[in-house]
Amino acid sequence: MSGTGLDTGHDVPRPLRTEESSATMTRVTEHLAGSPAGSPAGSPTGSPADSPAGSLADLLDERLAAADEQLRRHYPGDDGSRQPVHTVYVPADRCSAAVTRDWGRAALDLLDEHAPDAAALAGAVGLPADAVRDVHDRVREKLRREPVEDLRVDFEDGYGHRPDEEEDAAAADVAVALAGMARVEGRPPYLGIRFKSFEAPTRRRGLRTLDLVVGGLVAAGGLPEGFLLTLPKVTSVDQVAAMVEVCARMEQAYGLPVGRLRFEVQVETPQAVLAADGTATVARMIAASAGRCTGLHYGTFDYSAALGIAAAHQSLEHPAADHAKAVLQVAAAGTGVRVSDGSTNVVPVGGRAAVHGAWRLHARLVTRSLERGFYQGWDMHPGHLPTRYLATYAFFRGALPAAGARIRAYLERAEGEVMDEPATAQALAGAVLRGIDCGAVGEAEAAAATGVERHRLEVLARRRPPA
């Protein structure tokens, strides 16, 4: 318990007892007066070894050791791995080894039909023509080469409730599909499944599907690189702790390395943001995940509906959504856990006007998320891919010239219109690296703009090497 009587989920150093506090204050007073403990008052302290600072530092090292360890354990920082710009959800009964390539082709076909060149695309989405022209060819190449960065095969809302025999068969098929997908060129860097929640009515079904998919992948040769799980509709810290135990037991059962199974927490309920006692539940969820939680994914529509927001106003830019995501952002900062924005349910289908309207909305929402520090979102339809990459590429490429100049000035300690501090340099380098990772910026371009190679940017961004 904290001093306020609220459970923060973290250990709080105990206060000093009266006799300890008195002794500590005596030592501090003597040091500051120039009289180290056990020395006569007024004795000379001319050498650095006898200075108050050295003895006080030892005292503080001892006093703050527990707090230092807590900080290291709970806030390890980013692990240096690539964060995908989106997560694509595909219902389990529509998954195949070729599904991501199919999405890429569908996205290109939609562009060919409704915006065959850069000028038409700029008019459709409402972005500056120069910015669209700059990224147009890159976007099309991305859709051919790596159309999906993170795939989640959905056994939850997108799949629904089916007879057990049907879901069992689908789980077996998905394991085969993911194993095949992992072996082809252009595969998503991340892939996995979203199974049914740990709420009582769906708990057993979700566990069975998870077991069938993991077991099937192990039998097919092992879990693919970048394999992730999504735990949906989380309502309590206990569910996260239970997921940790499930992962550990499955690793043991299937001979997987400890820590191989990792998961995202899907924040779709008010209870996941704010607990009954007034604490931020999501912060305690991260602490309870024992380092297995990789991300917090905001669920736009379930969360909005749970707050009673009318369907017509449910959106990832609603003030209630902004509040929830701000809590997630603060809770995850420094922990190494990434935050993903949600989705839009307006899809680009129908006539040209409808497609252009959906594209314009999606491009604006993606840009809005990026401006607020949310570098990942959900995409629910192949038609969302063109505007996901268009807005993302335009954002990072547009930021490169100024970021490059500021990084150069920082490294050269040159004076300019903006005097950047180390934390700002870290953010600048991080943005350039995100642009490189997703394909918006080439490494040679980044080096020319910043004056340094990628490894130096990684040092500036304080990225730790991937585990």
Rounded to an integer, the average pLDDT of 327-331 is 98
Q: 329, 322 in Cβ contact below 8 A?
A: no
pLDDT tens digit sequence for 409-433: 999 886 556 667 889 999 999 999 9
Per-residue model confidence (pLDDT) at position 15: 43
Name which of 192, 191, 204 is nearest 161 in CA terms.
Answer: 204
Per-residue model confidence (pLDDT) at position 138: 98
Q: 198, 239 in Cβ contact below 8 A?
A: yes
The answer, yes or no, to whether residue 45 has pLDDT greater than 50, is no
User: Which one-letter amino acid corresponds to residue 227?
Assistant: F
Please tell me the pTM assigned to this model.
0.86
User: Which one-letter amino acid corresponds to residue 12?
Assistant: V
Angle formed by the axes of helices 99-114 and 352-371, to 10°? 120
pLDDT tens digit sequence for 277-328: 999 999 999 999 999 999 999 999 999 999 999 999 999 999 999 999 999 9
Give the phi and the psi of residue 90 in degrees, each rounded to 5: -125, 125
The answer, yes or no, to whether residue 13 has pLDDT greater than 50, is no
Q: 149, 189 in Cβ contact below 8 A?
A: yes
Superfamily of segment(s) 86-394: Malate synthase, domain 3 (3.20.20.360)
Q: 266, 234 in Cβ contact below 8 A?
A: yes
pLDDT tens digit sequence for 369-386: 999 999 999 999 999 999
Residues above pLDDT 90, as percent of the chain: 83
Domain with CATH 3.20.20.360 in the chain: 86-394
In the predicted model, what is the mean pLDDT of the chain? Answer: 90
Query: Strand order of the sheet with strand 293-298?
Result: 338-340, 293-298, 263-267, 227-231, 190-194, 150-154, 86-91, 377-379
Q: Is 62 helix (H, G, I), strand (E, B) or coil?
A: helix
The answer, yes or no, to whether residue 39 has pLDDT greater than 50, is no
Per-residue model confidence (pLDDT) at position 463: 79
Give the phi and the psi of residue 57 in degrees, each rounded to 5: -60, -40
Rounded to an integer, the average pLDDT of 131-150 is 98
CA distance 412 to 408: 6
Torsion sign over Cα 220, 337, 436, 384: positive
Per-residue model confidence (pLDDT) at position 43: 41
Structure confidence at residue 233 as a pLDDT band (50, 70, 90): very high
Q: Is 187 helix (H, G, I), strand (E, B) or coil?
A: coil
Q: 235, 241 in Cβ contact below 8 A?
A: no
The answer, yes or no, to whether residue 467 has pLDDT greater than 50, is no
Structure confidence at residue 136 as a pLDDT band (50, 70, 90): very high
Q: Is 315 helix (H, G, I), strand (E, B) or coil?
A: coil
Residues above pLDDT 70, as percent of the chain: 87
- Which helix (H) or strand (E) segment is 224 a member of? none
pLDDT tens digit sequence for 59-104: 999 999 999 999 999 999 988 899 999 999 999 999 999 999 999 9
pLDDT tens digit sequence for 172-189: 999 999 999 999 999 999
Name which of 403, 393, 418 is nearest 449 in CA terms.
Answer: 403
Per-residue model confidence (pLDDT) at position 420: 74
